[in-house]
Structure 1
Amino acid sequence: MSKVYFWNLRTSSKSPHSARMQKLLTQSGLSAIIDPGNLVALKVHFGESGNTGYLNALNLRPIVDFIRQAGAKPFFTDTSTLYVGDRGESVSHGLLAARHGYDPNLIGAPVLFADGLRSEYEVAVPYKGNYISEAYVGGMIMEADMLITLNHVKGHGLAGYGGAIKNVGMGCASKKGKMHMHVTTGPSLVPDNCIGCGVCITECAAGALDLDEDGRIAMVGKCTGCGRCFLSCRYNAIAIDWEQDVSEFTNRLIEYNKAILDKLRRPAMHINFLMNITPDCDCHGYSDAPICPDLGVMISSDPVAVDQASLDMINAAPPLYPSRLPEGLSQGDDKFKALAPETPDGFGLKYAEKIGLGSRNYKLITI
């Protein structure tokens, strides 16, 4: 049975937010696995432009201070997105992070992008799974001395639920890794939309694209799924089918977790923030109304346990309206399942437990 430490957000003048967060981190045993001089990756989602549900950077300052007091050197990190937006390469991504409050002068730690300028800095991590044989991961994730994930718990359009497992598997993957989880054969071409500009050809790492005799895009080699062509095309001549089998996507995501976490230099810690619990991922350019009240902060070395505990607490909470939740839900009903009925029961946690990623059995320890 895995231990999950929980703080219910209560504070006082004698024990403000920073003190309660420090107590939570201390009781979790985090300081025992941090050594002086360690470079500690704080994996976070900075939120897409227009989104307001992402984690407030100032709320994370006590975590930075705790790590620095242990003599280590924390840095915030993320990887480039597969979709087109302000997080597709590190220059735009860095400016966005700063606009959303992730300024080292405010939070005490720099922002470094784990997969480099254009998501070309990746490490191929071998893994003998049922769905993948390699995981393509941002290089700095594997170089860091320790990984701490800072997870805004919320819904997700495809996975149904996003927490620690989503932030590790999808969030630490390079652009090629994200493509690897979403599709197995690379993007599809839509030649009728092509104007023959050739930008995607120069971006294709595998040299698999060229123009046909009509001056439109054609596949002339083997696609390796790097995803750079999709991001470069402004004319919708390259497409990705996001509506793949949800169960297979979820299992690929979970195997990415296992591949990454098994190869880290020391155990990772996962901090779930059950605050502003919205129905969508922070990748969206908006944030819909929360589906339940703010509940607290959880931390565990077991990503399965902390996600299971988060789901259990959210389902036990009263539903909030108006929201996207269907009318008539009661306390105890599965809120994310009601929003995404096509997702597998338990959002893949049963498979995660089966392959040894963690345990769904947990002991909740309230500070």
Structure 2
Amino acid sequence: MSSKSKVFWASPNEVCYFDNPIRNDRKNMKTNNLVKTRLILDKILDFINSGDRVGIKVHVGEAYNTRYLRHDYVHEVVEAVKSKGGIPTLIETQGIGLSVRPVKISKNYNVNLMHRTNKEDHDRISHLHGYSESLMGVTLKFIDGDKGAYQKNIKIEGIHFKDVSVAAGLFEYDKIIAVSHFKGHPQGAFGGALKQLGMGCVATRNKFLAHFKGNLMVNSKACNISKCAQECIEVCPINAIKIENDSAVLDVSTCIGCLGCLERCPVLGIMPHPFRRNKQFIECVMDNAAAVLASFSPENIRYINFALDVTLVCDCIVNASVPIVPDLGIFASSDPLAIDKACIDAETNAPGLPFLDENGEWSEPLPSGVEKFGTMNKKVDPSWQLDAAFKNKLGTIDYELVKI
């Protein structure tokens, strides 16, 4: 792609008249961020035709995370699609794992984490975070099935992957709008439109393969069916495990890497390979994204990034902590690489925010002109994701920023 991609941008600033009584009119309400969401959507939703089935890809946030994208913004996307004659549905995929993980806080207080790994628990946290049909006016559908196994294999020539398991339910829609909360990520440096494609639109198998260097393995020294109730067989959603010669045998050709067997085995008879290094993880996620765009026409996808509450870690993390820069605004585009590059540039140009360290002392904020994600999390670099996306031909880093 040689020409510049348009990235529309709305400032996060809102105007309030300090009159007595406080009043609102058309002029100042056009600065309201929910109103600006509709205004910026008008710039990118001309691709929707009356009757189109439109999947609105969301991330509802993990339990006990309080920095996830507020449902109010996504409700504006829903209403904008309806105004164009489209038929919207919120769509999401399952995370890795199969069960909620309890953590004891005190004698009478436990918290349950990892709610986004199966339909029942994912539905519960979606409702708690406002992504319910009663509030949104549309249903939330898991496009990779109840346990992440509903997938379609797509052949590609990626940096690492030659085939990718894309969430099969994605292909039930005519158009897709990827709604992303722009923020940092502990392994990927940042999460935006590209990660919404490469992690949010694939089935569990390729989430797992992006994180780990290889398939799950049976630990023959630990596996002993006389010391268990064959929980691995019971929990496997696709029957990829059987017993041979008093030991579990795992069919890696069908295993989706949900980690259910590893979670349930009482004798630690299932082992994962080591985690991938961060740069390789990023490249794998961009391979995943390439498969999504190779199988679902890029011209039928639009992107909107909300660079608000920009934390150092992602919405999968429970303790997201405080924002590291001021709110940067709302971005929209038809190019996932261009929109993420624009967000990185905005994050770099913004001044950092101070925060309290573990000793209760205020830190010195990073100045404008310094890229914050890579500087604060020294194990990652945002350029790795942008470079891998460019290698996979996901878009262009050359963009024209259009203020609305």
Which residue is 2:20 aligned to? Answer: none
Q: Aligned in 2, Cα 1:291/1:40: closer, same or farther, shift over 3 Å?
A: same
| C-alpha contact (below 8 Å) 1:48/1:282 kept by paired residues | yes
- Give the TM-score, by structure 1 length: 0.91
Q: Is 1:269 equivalent to 2:272 in the alignment?
A: no
Report deviation, 1:142: 2.2
Which residue is 1:180 aligned to? Answer: 209
**Distance in 1 separating the partners of 2:180 and 2:223:** 38
Give the letter for the 2:73 counterpart: N
Which residue is 1:5 aligned to? Answer: 8
Which residue is 2:325 aligned to? Answer: 292
Which residue is 1:319 aligned to? Answer: 352
The number of equivalent residue pairs is 362
| C-alpha contact (below 8 Å) 1:273/1:298 kept by paired residues | yes
**Distance in 1 separating the partners of 2:181 and 2:273:** 26
Which residue is 1:73 aligned to? Answer: 87
| C-alpha contact (below 8 Å) 1:208/1:219 kept by paired residues | yes
**Distance in 1 separating the partners of 2:374 and 2:245:** 46
Q: 2:174 aligns with which of 139, 145, 153?
A: 145
Report deviation, 1:254: 0.7
Report deviation, 1:302: 0.6
Q: 2:233 aligns with which of 194, 201, 208?
A: 201
What is the correspondence of 1:109-120 to structure 2 with a 5 Å cutoff?
Answer: 109-120=138-149
| C-alpha contact (below 8 Å) 1:3/1:362 kept by paired residues | yes
| C-alpha contact (below 8 Å) 1:206/1:222 kept by paired residues | no
| C-alpha contact (below 8 Å) 2:94/2:144 kept by paired residues | yes
Q: 1:357 aligns with which of 394, 397, 401?
A: 394
| C-alpha contact (below 8 Å) 1:7/1:296 kept by paired residues | yes
**Distance in 1 separating the partners of 2:183 and 2:274:** 19
User: Which stretch has the larger CA shift, 343-352 or 297-306?
Assistant: 343-352
| C-alpha contact (below 8 Å) 2:217/2:270 kept by paired residues | yes
- Give the TM-score, by structure 2 length: 0.83
Q: Is 1:256 equivalent to 2:288 in the alignment?
A: yes
Q: Is 1:19 equivalent to 2:73 in the alignment?
A: no
| C-alpha contact (below 8 Å) 2:94/2:203 kept by paired residues | yes
Q: Aligned in 2, Cα 1:332/1:80: closer, same or farther, shift over 3 Å?
A: same
**Bigger Rg, which one:** 2
Which residue is 1:333 aligned to? Answer: 370
Which residue is 1:37 aligned to? Answer: 51
| C-alpha contact (below 8 Å) 1:180/1:225 kept by paired residues | no
Report deviation, 1:9: 2.4
Give the letter for the 2:256 counterpart: C
| C-alpha contact (below 8 Å) 2:216/2:252 kept by paired residues | no
Q: 1:159 aligns with which of 177, 183, 188?
A: 188
Q: Aligned in 2, Cα 1:183/1:22: closer, same or farther, shift over 3 Å?
A: same
Report deviation, 1:204: 6.2
Report deviation, 1:29: 3.1
**Distance in 2 separating the partners of 1:328 and 1:321:** 5
Report deviation, 1:262: 2.6
Q: 2:75 aligns with which of 61, 65, 69?
A: 61
Q: Aligned in 2, Cα 1:42/1:333: closer, same or farther, shift over 3 Å?
A: same
Q: Map Cα deviations across residues 39-91 of structure 1 (whole Å, 9 max, x no partner).
A: 11111111111111111001222211110011111111111111452111111
Q: Aligned in 2, Cα 1:344/1:360: closer, same or farther, shift over 3 Å?
A: same
**Distance in 2 separating the partners of 1:220 and 1:102:** 37
| C-alpha contact (below 8 Å) 1:326/1:338 kept by paired residues | no
Report deviation, 1:243: 3.1
Which residue is 1:347 aligned to? Answer: 384
Report deviation, 1:287: 2.3
Give the letter for the 2:87 counterpart: K
| C-alpha contact (below 8 Å) 1:2/1:302 kept by paired residues | yes
**Distance in 1 separating the partners of 2:7 and 2:72:** 24
Task: Give the secondary structure class of the aligned counterpart of 1:283.
Answer: coil
Which residue is 1:129 aligned to? Answer: 158
**Distance in 2 separating the partners of 1:328 and 1:278:** 14
**Distance in 2 separating the partners of 1:110 and 1:123:** 23
| C-alpha contact (below 8 Å) 1:88/1:231 kept by paired residues | no
**Any unmatched runs of 5+ in structure 2?**
16-23, 100-113
Task: Give the secondary structure class of the aligned counterpart of 2:165.
Answer: strand
**Distance in 2 separating the partners of 1:207 and 1:18:** 47
Give the letter for the 1:335 counterpart: K
Which residue is 1:50 aligned to? Answer: 64
**Any unmatched runs of 5+ in structure 1?**
none
**Distance in 2 separating the partners of 1:159 and 1:259:** 18
Give the letter for the 2:75 counterpart: R
Which residue is 1:86 aligned to? Answer: 115
Q: Aligned in 2, Cα 1:196/1:314: closer, same or farther, shift over 3 Å?
A: same
RMSD, aligned CA: 2.4
Q: Is 1:228 equivalent to 2:258 in the alignment?
A: yes
Q: Map Cα deviations across residues 234-263 of structure 1 (whole Å, 9 max, x no partner).
A: 345534456312222111111111110232
Give the letter for the 1:339 counterpart: M
Task: Give the secondary structure class of the aligned counterpart of 1:288.
Answer: coil
Task: Give the secondary structure class of the aligned counterpart of 1:119.
Answer: coil
Report deviation, 1:315: 1.1
**Distance in 1 separating the partners of 2:213 and 2:237:** 17
Task: Give the secondary structure class of the aligned counterpart of 2:206.
Answer: helix
